[in-house]
Amino acid sequence: MSAVPGSPKPLAVNYLRSLVVPRSRGAVDLPRRRYEQRGLRVDPDRLAAWSRVCGYPLRSRLPLPYPHLLGFAAQVQLLVSEPFPFRLLGLVHVAQGFTQRRPLGVVEELEVSVRAVAMYPHRRGAVVELVTEVRGAAEGPHEPPAWSGTSRYLAPGARLPGSVPPAEEELPPPGTGAAVGRWRVGADTGRRYAEVSGDVNPIHLAAPAARLLGFPRALAHGLWTASHSLAVLDGRLPDAVRADVRFKAPLLLPATVEHLHERVPGPDGGAWRTAVRSRGGARTHLLTAVTPLCTPTPGGGGGVGRPSGLR
């Protein structure tokens, strides 16, 4: 695997580049490249703006989902640099895992690396899996990272050789005794999250762009929905924690949705389940399972399990 140091190109540049980069005709032998950034420091103004949009208070430690943003530009760079058999625009974020072995401080100097670790066929196309690792500058390269994230993206209609793996275990939703809140998700949510995250995928910004990719209206970023859901649990989670997020259906804007959260008794303080669903529960947009790190989640390591397929 070749290491590519330095800052990735701006996200908008890579989104435009994805329109002209030719696609490969077959599977990529992974991993091939790893993007690395050293000496990275969090911009406190950007963090504060992101926290306001996602519902987090300001603290001396980074919110559980935030380190994903530190590697997201490198993820996009990887997706347009490797000869994948699909284009970046049109990918669907279907699952995300967050594993935090210790909280990262806001003022820490950090090291971030991103690599693709798997690509496999799916009944609706192909899935690529990316891993982001974030370390404190004082941590050794052979130590487990303080934070890691596993992102799985579906390329609808893409074709790969090989058989489709069996579907993985579904996450259980919160039970009938779960606490229920209601969110009003404004039409500008995609634009507001794009401004603080840099994720300017046009399907989140305006209805005309979304319609070009088959959606009737703009839709919320999956990471906004996941972050807003996890923010409800802020202050109640242990320092070492793992979250497994499944994105079930697009959240079209504007919308009014229900948020459910439930504590599940168990060792090490137990686990949590959350869901975001339409009013009345006819459609589920997101499910999460959050557990203390020493308690295994469905599917095992990395927060989303080692994939055996996706439903």
Output the pTM of the full model: 0.89
What's the mean pLDDT when you consider all of the chain? Answer: 89
Rounded mean pLDDT of 36-46?
95
Start-to-end CA distance of the chain, whole Å, equals: 31
pLDDT single digits (tens) 69-126: 999 999 999 998 888 888 888 899 999 999 999 999 999 999 999 999 999 989 889 9
d(CA 13, CA 68): 20
Q: What are phi and psi of 282, to 5 degrees?
A: -65, -30
Contact 202, 209 (CB under 8 A): yes
**CA–CA dist 248, 126 (Å, integer):** 17
Query: Can you give the pLDDT at residue 88?
Result: 86
| pLDDT at residue 304, as a whole number | 52
Residue with tokens 């196309």: 125
- Rg of the Cα atoms in the chain: 18
H or E segment and range at residue 302 = none
Predicted pLDDT of residue 306: 41
The one-letter amino acid code at 83 reads P
- Paired sense of beta strands 179-185 and 255-264, if any: antiparallel
CATH code assigned to 2-292: 3.10.129.10
Q: 229 pLDDT exceeds 70? A: yes
Q: What is the largest CA-CA distance in the chain?
A: 51
